[in-house]
Structure 1
Amino acid sequence: MLICRPDHTPLRILREKLHADPARVVLRPFHLAWQASVSEPSRAAQLVQDILKLDDDQAEAELDLIWKDFSERHWQIGRIFDERFAEIAEDVELAAGSVSPVKKRLIGAYFCHEYSYAAAALMNPSVVPHPDQTGLDPDQQRFVMSLRAVGEGHISSVAFREGIIGPGGDFRLWPQSGPAMAGVVDDRHHMGPEGAVTVHRQPDSAISNSVLFPVTEAQRNGLEDLRLVQFTHDDGGCEYIGTYTAYSGREIRSEMLRTSDFTRFCLEPLMGRAARNKGMALFPRKIGGRYLMVGRQDGKNVTLLASDTLNRWDDEGTMLLRPAFPWEFVQMGNCGSPIECDEGWILLTHGVGAMRKYSLGAALLDRDDPSKVIGRTACPILSAAESDREGYVPNVVYTCGAMRVGHELFIPYGISDSAIGFAVTGIDDLLSLMI
């Protein structure tokens, strides 16, 4: 009889942890909650008229107060106010040339607000090699980690951290210098419900200081659980592709993020019958001439999906993994994109057992035919420890993607939907536990 021991794990837990931080704020557009009746001016237009009625001394005094309160917290505040004024002027059909520079910035300030994007939680990270690997020792890699950040209203956004990792889990995160800055939509006038949207990182904002917020109605309540992978195309070119869940507050849909350098991001919905559930994760290259994903089509089992195109998934897929052990009886799912090694594809999984306890496991898939499961861990490789079980959602450990570093895996993971921890494991050590 197989009995899993609490210490039966090949993972080494690292000391570093990331926690929610209400001090990390961004300047975001402020939208008034409701409009007046159709026959009356909108609330936005009324607010603009109230500001324009101020005499010049009043307007300058108000802007001075705002500057004293916020300019040290947001060093590009003037540019942001100017850009926001331009948007509002267009929306309310205001002749911008008739407005003084002081009142332009004051109007911009009234239509912005600070948002603490990670005040409630940081969770569910994924990690990929950084686009810039210059100047490193042979056994080191730079990385980019995505994080699900949760703030006021339980709105989920995508934040990033950069860092360097070497052998044995010797890693460090780059400091977050200066204020965080929200990504900006390239063209806010062409944002159809089914089309792609392009968002760019603000000038002079490092990747680690950038946050991607919902920008469409389908994303209104959150961008959830981005699973990033460095994808290699047939011609040898690479790009970073991430699958995530867009949540409108009523419905979910699967979407995809694409970027070549984390400067500009294309966000587009995934189409087709198979793109209907949470937790899709793309293989890092085509296999047998087709794109492959792992997903969970029925809410319980892990499925292998195939497609001839990246953005349409009609094939319902084939069953890959079913719950086989008590710690995964409730349901299973993937924990990010499969990772290629000499022996095959390592697929990190999660299982849900009694008391809705989440644990991490792993499986090994055939390198040429990933529908064949070579082995899987009978016991969890990571479960919530006593020190890590408390949080917004207790007894949960979860990751959206790990990264290979030489002969090891670097695994950032979410802790009870509240914080992020880090672990490493030798690939050989992990494979030795599979049956």
Structure 2
Amino acid sequence: MLNCRPDQTPLRILGEKLTADPSRVVLRPFHLAWQSSVSEPSRSAQLVEDLLRLDEDQAELELGLVWKDFSERHWQIGRIFDDRFAEIAEDLMLDAGAISSVKRRLIGAYFCHEYSYAAAALMNPSIVLHPDQSGLDRDQLRFVMSMRAVGEGHISSIAFREGIVGPDGDFSLWPQSGPAMAAVADDRHHLEPADAVTVHRQPDSPISNSVLFPVTEAQRNGLEDLRLVRFAHDDGSTEYLGTYTAYSGHSIRSELLRTNDFASFCLEPLSGRAARNKGMALFPRKVGGRYLTVGRQDGKNITLLASDSLTDWDDEGRPLLSPAFPWELVQMGNCGSPIECDEGWILLTHGVGAMRKYSLGAALLDKDDPSKILGRTACPILSAAESDREGYVPNVVYTCGALATGNELFIPYGISDSAIGFATTTVPDLLRSMV
């Protein structure tokens, strides 16, 4: 008889947690489109006309008040206001040369607002090797961790933290020095629904202070659950790839993030039948000459999919893992990209059981033929503990990826859709827990 006990888990829970922080704010464009009517001029044009009617002394006074309230809370606030004015001037076909520098900057300020991007939650992290591994001790690794940050309106964005991990899960996160800054789209105009869009970090903004927000209509209500992987191409080059769910407010689709340096990011829609579902996770290299992902195509089972293209996933896939134990009978899903080890591919999974309780498990896939299951955990390796049950969605633990550090796995994980915790295990201990 199966008898799962919490003290049998191969994971060691680490003490640090990351929680929602309403003090982390970014400057975002403020849009008046929702107040528009069929009458002309538009609300935006009316606001600009009102500001242009101010005399220069009054405009300078108003800009001074904005500066007093916000300049110490944001880097390069003047440049951001100037850039925002340029967007408004383009949209409204203003003669920028006829407007004073004070009024241009004031108009930019009126079309910006502070957004607390992580006021509601931080959750569902993934983790990869940092592009810069210089200056470390021999047994240390520098990492980049992505997080799903949720703010006003339950809008999800992608935030990052950098850190260093050593043996036995000893880790530290780099401090978030200074205010956060939103990444900027290179071209916000003339985008078709299937077009890729490129965004870049603001100048002088570290990775840990940068946030990727929705920039297209398909992403309007959020970028959800990025699953990052450091991908090795056939030519020996590496690239950071990440599948995520774009949510428009009424429909979802899978998209692909691509970057070489976490300074510039290409956000590209995926095509094909499989891309209409959530939770795809790429293998970190081709297997058998094809790109592979694990996903969930039917709302219950984990599916293995193959493609000759990184962006076209028309394969219906084949079942890989189906619920077999009580803690996963409602549904199963992956928890990030498979991790290659000497014994095969370690795939972290999640299962949903009674009372919609989420638990983490794992499986071992054959290295040459990942459709073959060599072992799987009959008991959860992590379930919501008493201290981790409360949150926006109770009784949930969830991760979008782990990092192999030698013979160990470092696993950041989401707690009840509200916070992020950390755990560690060794590969031998995890493999011994499988049947």
1:313 CA drift (Å): 0.5
4+ residue runs of structure 1 moved beyond 4 angstroms? none
Give the corresponding residue for 1:68: 68
User: What's the counterpart of residue 432 of structure 1?
Assistant: 432
State the Cα distance separating 1:307 from its structure 2 match. Answer: 0.0
Matched residue, 1:318: 318
Q: Residue 229 of structure 2 aligns with which residue?
A: 229
Match of 1:291 in 2: 291
Distance 1:56 1:26 in 2: 28
- Deviation sequence 1:412-431 (CA, Å, 0-9, x none): 00000000000000000000
Displacement of 1:134 after TM fit? Answer: 0.7
Identity of aligned residues (%): 83
Paired residue type of 1:2? L
Asked if residue 243 in structure 1 is aligned to residue 246 in structure 2, the reply is no
Task: Count residues in correspondence.
Answer: 435
Structure 2: 5+ residue runs without aligned partners?
Answer: none
Aligned positions of 1:294-373 closer than 5 A:
294-373=294-373
What corresponds to 1:142 in structure 2? Answer: 142
Note if contact 1:34-1:43 (Cα within 8 Å) is conserved in structure 2.
no
SS at match of 1:81: helix
Superposed displacement of residue 36, structure 1: 3.9
Letter of the 1:139 counterpart: D
1:257 alignment partner in structure 2:
257
Q: TM-score, normalised by structure 2?
A: 0.99
Other structure's SS at 1:241 match: strand
Q: CA deviation at 1:33?
A: 4.0
Mark the CA change 1:211 to 1:36 in structure 2 (over 3 Å): closer, same or farther.
closer
In the alignment, is the contact (CA less than 8 A) between 1:245 and 1:279 conserved in 2? yes
Instruction: Report the equivalent of 2:211.
Output: 211
Matches within 5 A, 1:194-209: 194-209=194-209
SS in structure 2 at match of 1:275: helix
Q: CA deviation at 1:39?
A: 4.3
2:104 corresponds in structure 1 to 104
Deviates more, 1:205-214 or 1:28-37: 28-37
SS in 1 for 2:123: strand
The one-letter amino acid of 1:385's match is A
Q: Is the 8 A contact 1:218 1:246 kept in 2?
A: yes
Aligned to 1:166: 166
1:215 shift after superposition: 0.3
Letter aligned with residue 388 of structure 2:
D
Deviations 1:85-109 (A, max 9, x none): 0000111110000000100000000
Distance 1:36 1:161, change over 3 A: closer
Aligned twin of 1:192: 192
TM-score (norm 1): 0.99
Q: Could you tell me how far apart the structure 1 residues matched to 2:37 and 2:366 are?
A: 62
Gapped regions of structure 1 (runs ≥ 5): none
Equivalent-residue separation in structure 2 for 1:390 and 1:118 (angstroms)? 18
Distance 2:359 2:214 in 1: 29
State the shift of 1:290 in Å: 0.1
The RMSD of aligned alpha carbons is: 0.7
Deviation at 1:7, TM superposition (A): 1.4
Letter in 2 for 1:373: I
Q: Residue deviations 1:322-345, cap 9 Å, x none?
A: 000000000000000000000000
Tell me how far apart the structure 2 counterparts of residues 89 and 276 of structure 1 sit (CA, whole Å).
37
In the alignment, what sits opposite 2:421? 421
Q: Does 2:181 correspond to 1:181?
A: yes
Q: Deviations over 1:283-314 (max 9, x none)?
A: 00000100000000000000000000000001
- Kindly state the Cα deviation for residue 37 of structure 1 after the two structures are TM-superposed: 3.7
Q: Which amino acid aligns with 1:140?
A: Q
> How many Å separate the matches in 1 of 2:253 and 2:153?
20
One-letter amino acid of the structure 2 residue matched with residue 188 of structure 1: R
Shift of 1:35: 5.0
Query: What do residues 234-263 of structure 1 show as CA deviations (whole Å, max 9, x unaligned)?
Result: 001000000000000000001110000000
- Report the Cα distance in structure 1 between the residues aligned to 2:403 and 2:372, rounded to whole angstroms: 22
